[in-house]
Amino acid sequence: MKKVGVGLLAGVLVPGAAWACACGCGIFDVATSSMFPEGSGGTAFLNYDYQDQNQNWSGNSSAPAANNGDKKIETHFLTLGLQYLFNRSWGAQIEVPYWSRTFNTDVNFGAPPADIVSRNWNGLGDIRIKGIYTGFSEDLANGITFGLKLPTGSHNRNGDTVDRDTQIGTGSTDVLLGGFFRHAVVSGTPWQWFAQAELDLPTLKQGDYRPGIEGDAALGINYRGWKLGRMNIAPVAQVIGSWRGRDNGLAAAPDDSGYQRILLSPGIEFHLHPVKVYTDVEIPVYQNMRGNQLVAPVLFKLSVSYMF
């Protein structure tokens, strides 16, 4: 109640000021071409992603930190997953995430003096379960994915200081729809281009908070002509786009949620069968944030997978 009251006062005293953050965690679920299915059988994988949201952003440019009560959201994402194709047409995938998050915010925002508090917590995130269909072509070059994001992550931890859009879990059950495509740039050459997209549609909600619809897509090219002994080495270049609608509900901040952004992502993949290691960095080149939101200057990804 203290935070709600101070927030109302802030709206009067500091025009444009708000508590708001932009997680955009769905962007880590695309731009991993090494995870495209290649044949019947299974792949176990462990992904590590990292972002440190420490810059306030409004519209398409940086904004004064004084306009946002939230000061920093640093998150380590660890995801254990299993993908299995039962035949050349059908498969399934499960992802079990575990997050470690640090959140710094001004609990007296809008009513000086500032009182910056820090909260750190770890926990299970929202589990994703997907079906995979790859029966469009013999080489499994394209497919669709469909499934659910389950509300397994906590959505009420440190509720006195942590807003719903900063929780590890959204509290919602979401429908997931996606697809992927890959093809040689020129037949018979080691150059390959690929595309991937996923749409996250929140359906069932809890606690009068519904996160915004989110769509993430990647378009990339890689070169599969390098070898070091038995190891294949593939440099990767990608453009990643991300869009999220505004949050809704009494526990949401609709005027300070929702965005569009484009990132450039160089990466590299090492493949020594049955192990693949993939890593990239994701650098924002365009961001348009509704209201005031925290963003990260760079994002990092590392994926290790084992095929069986």
Q: What is the mean pLDDT of residues 266-273?
A: 96
Tens digits of residue pLDDT in 49-79: 999 999 999 999 999 999 999 999 999 999 9
Q: What is the mean pLDDT of residues 82-97?
A: 96
Tokens standing for residue 244: 């999220």
Query: 63-68 long-range contacts, Cβ below 8 Å, gap at least 24?
Result: 63/292, 66/14, 66/17, 67/14, 67/16, 67/17, 67/18, 67/292, 68/17, 68/18, 68/19, 68/20, 68/292, 68/293, 68/294
Model confidence at 13: pLDDT above 60: no
If pLDDT is split at 50, 70 and 90, which confidence band does 14 have? very low
Map out the domains of the chain with their CATH numbers: 2-307 (2.40.128.130)
pLDDT value for 145: 96
As a whole number of angstroms, the distance between CA 277 and CA 47 comes to 10
- Residue 235, burial from CB neighbour count under 10 angstroms (0-12, 13-18, 19+): middle
Buried b / exposed e over 162-200, threshold 16 CB at 10 Å, is bbbbbbbbbbbebebebbbbbeeeeeeeeebebbbbbbb
Tokens standing for residue 121: 């917590």
Q: What is the mean pLDDT of the chain?
A: 90
Q: Which of 48-52, 69-73, 160-164, 167-171 has the lowest mean pLDDT?
A: 160-164
If pLDDT is split at 50, 70 and 90, which confidence band does 22 have? low
Q: What is the mean pLDDT of residues 168-179?
A: 96
Residue 250: φ, ψ to 5°: -65, -25
* Whether the model pTM is above 0.95: no
Q: What is the mean pLDDT of residues 269-283?
A: 96
Amino acid type, 238: Q
pLDDT value for 29: 77
pLDDT value for 27: 76
